[in-house]
Structure 1
Amino acid sequence: MCMLKRDLPMPDSLQEVKIGKELQGKCLRNVFPESTVKLYCCYIVIMILTIVVIALSVALKSLLKDLPAVSRPGPYFSTCPNDWIGFGSKCFYFSEDVRNWTFSQTYCMALEAHLALFDSLEELNFLKRYKGTSDYWIGLYRESPDHAWTSTDNTEYNNLVLIQGSRECAYLNDGGISSAKEYTPKKWICSKYSRYTLQCPEILNPG
């Protein structure tokens, strides 16, 4: 009887319970480790993205801080006084009256300027285009034909353009730059840096 009892097949319900437990164990072993790995991966990705966003934010702030002031909105911009013409970083005044070279330079200095100086061929070509057909004194002079040309800001002329003639004071004409005696009456051009350029160092280095 005992042998018969041991050999009796298990009820279907007990077999189902046993099979269910085995399947549950397999599922737990297969699912949970994989889910944990995926979860850790998500955490790592989130941390990396957070670090990248913070780094980009800091870099952007630093870049904006280092940008020139001209790109920032504000009250600082390039302006010229009334009756002056702006070109690049300078303002130019073209007279209607005619006087000698010394008077012309004194007039410009009273306006906190000098007889016109040009730093490039672009500036010179602008002056030639705008002056029309008249001759204008500019800010170059020399003591004699044996001396070098000097600018009204007390720097030596860089010989960007050859000055024609053997006189002491330079003027702008249709052909380029020529020279004449100081007392010759001509119109004149004053030049000075625009208001923005003078304020630039204070803007870029506040305080």
Structure 2
Amino acid sequence: MPLSPQDHKLKIFVFVVFITVVVAITAVVIRAHPEKTSEHPQTTKCSGEWIGIGNKCFYFSKDTKNWTGSKIFCSSQGSELAPIDTHGDMDFLKKHAETSMHWIGLSRKQGESWKWTNGTTFNAWFEIDGNGLFAFLNADGVYSSRGFVDIKWICSKPRF
């Protein structure tokens, strides 16, 4: 049975309203979860030169400073020298550090345990080569130094 012109207009109107609602809902979901639209779902969008993974943003310096200067810089950015909490973070940081040495947020006092800049004790889940008091990372692993040499650094802050 053919539709009357009014029924046909009503169906078109309902279809247009349906499409408009679907588009609006999709836009809200994308704005609420922008990380889900990335080619790499684990990559997190961070501002400026910060690079993200998971719920963290990392800053890899191009400049060089000693460990204390690097820590002060990170603090000035509302962040800290990077702690490394997971194997995923370690792999990500080593990949981005490449062959350059970068200070991370581990230090110790002579004869004491390693501590992160937030005060928590390092649980030794990875090896730190050397007998220095400040830790740095490159693509090969984590090492220690006396902290006086100027090298690059990595800052970290939560994405949210």
TM above 0.5: yes
User: For 1:73, which of 20, 29, 54 is the aligned residue?
Assistant: 29
Q: 1:73 is aligned with what amino acid?
A: V
* Larger-Rg structure: 1
- The Cα offsets for residues 123-154 of structure 1, whole Å up to 9 and x where unpaired, read as 1011001112100000000011x110000111
User: For 1:180, which of 145, 151, 154 is the aligned residue?
Assistant: 145
Residues 45 and 51 in structure 2, CA contact (< 8 A), matched pair in contact too = no
Mapped pair 1:192 → 2:143: no
Partner residue, 2:51:
85
Report sequence identity in percent.
38
- Name the stretch that deviates more: 86-95 or 72-81: 72-81
Paired with 1:183 and 1:159, the residues of 2 have a C-alpha distance of 24
Call closer, same or farther: CA 1:110–1:73 in 2, change over 3 Å. Answer: same
Deviation at 1:74, TM superposition (A): 7.2
Paired with 1:176 and 1:163, the residues of 2 have a C-alpha distance of 8
Aligned pairs for 1:84-123 (under 5 A) are 84-123=50-89
> Which has the larger helix fraction?
1
Q: Aligned pairs, how many? A: 123
Paired with 2:45 and 2:140, the residues of 1 have a C-alpha distance of 31
Paired with 1:135 and 1:82, the residues of 2 have a C-alpha distance of 22
Q: 2:85 is aligned with what amino acid?
A: D
Aligned pairs for 1:1-207 (under 5 A) are 73=29, 75-77=31-33, 79-144=45-110, 146-195=111-160
Deviation at 1:76, TM superposition (A): 4.2
Partner residue, 1:57:
none
For the aligned residue pairs, the C-alpha RMSD in angstroms reads: 1.5
Paired with 1:76 and 1:158, the residues of 2 have a C-alpha distance of 36
**TM-score normalised to structure 1 length:** 0.56
**TM-score normalised to structure 2 length:** 0.72
> Which has the larger strand fraction?
2
